[in-house]
Structure 1
Amino acid sequence: MDVLVLIGRILFVVVFLGSGIAHLTQTDAMAGYAQSKGIPAPKLAVQASGVLLVLGALMILLGVWADLGALLLVVFLLPTAFLMHAFWKETDPTAKQTEMIQFNKDISLAGAAIALFAFFAHTPELGLSITGPLFSLG
């Protein structure tokens, strides 16, 4: 069981680590996109979201308060879905479909992160982790 949970944690965070690193290394390009979506202080928003992504992903990966790490990813995913992928505002069918896919991906990943939060917070001894959960759902 411990090894399966570790494999799941590794696979789950790959996309967040890659995205977070991109936020921190390609900030200007991403800030331009964020600005086109009407995000205030786009460069700061990209940098802050990059830190949130990397921190949350590393917490889950290493098992350092993995429950809190999962919540950090939810804090990133839900606003991103609505602010960056507002498919209902698009008029071009291709752009609308692309944004809908991205919106649904973010909402689905947020659901998975909430489920992981509940799992981590309910399981006091995960094994193959550095700490136990910060929260307790007992």
Structure 2
Amino acid sequence: MDVIVLIGRLLFVCLFAASALNHLTHTKSMAGYTASRGVPFATAAVFASGVALGVGAVSVAVGLWADIGALVLAAFCFSAAVLMHGFWAEKDPQAKMTEQGQFFKDLALGGAALVIFAFFAYAGRDLGLMVTGPALSLG
């Protein structure tokens, strides 16, 4: 079971790690889109979210307080869904459909991150292949 959980953790964080790298290496270009969505301090927000994505991804991947890392990823996903993918405000039908897909993708990933949080907070100390146990306990 330990190896399956490790493989699942690594696969789960691939998207977040790639996104973190993108946020940190293309901060200025991403800030333009972020600003167009009405997010204040867009450059700082892109950089900060890149750091959060990186920290959360590494935390979950290596099992270093993976429960907290999963909460960080969930917080990013839910805030990105609301701030960046407000499909309800789109007038163009194609843009609305695209943003709706992104909104629900972020919602689903945030939900999965919450499940991972609960999993580690409940059973984390019994799992192998972790650097630390959970920071929080639900069990």
Q: Same fold (TM over 0.5)?
A: yes
CA displacement at 1:79 relative to structure 2: 1.0
Report the counterpart of residue 97 of structure 1 in structure 2.
Answer: 97
Letter of the structure 1 residue corresponding to residue 35 of structure 2: Q
CA displacement at 1:125 relative to structure 2: 2.2
What is the SS of the residue equivalent to 1:134?
coil
Within a 5 Å distance, the mapping from 1:37-116 to structure 2 comes to 37-116=37-116
Distance 2:130 2:19 in 1: 23
Letter of the structure 2 residue corresponding to residue 38 of structure 1: G
Distance 2:122 2:22 in 1: 32
Distance 2:83 2:64 in 1: 29
* TM-score of the two chains, using structure 2 as the length reference: 0.98
Instruction: Report Cα offsets for 1:52-95 as digits up to 9, x if no partner.
Output: 00000000000000000000001111111011000000011110
- Which 5+ residue runs of structure 1 have no aligned equivalent? none
* TM-score of the two chains, using structure 1 as the length reference: 0.99
CA displacement at 1:20 relative to structure 2: 0.6
Letter of the structure 2 residue corresponding to residue 12 of structure 1: F
Runs of 4+ in 1 over 2 A off after TM superposition: none
In the alignment of these two chains, the number of paired residues is 138
Distance 1:133 1:83 in 2: 30
Report the counterpart of residue 2 of structure 1 in structure 2.
Answer: 2
Instruction: Report Cα offsets for 1:4-63 as digits up to 9, x if no partner.
Output: 000000000000000011000000110000000010000000000000000000000000
Letter of the structure 1 residue corresponding to residue 126 of structure 2: E
Distance 1:103 1:34 in 2: 15
Distance 1:46 1:17 in 2: 14
Distance 1:29 1:93 in 2: 25
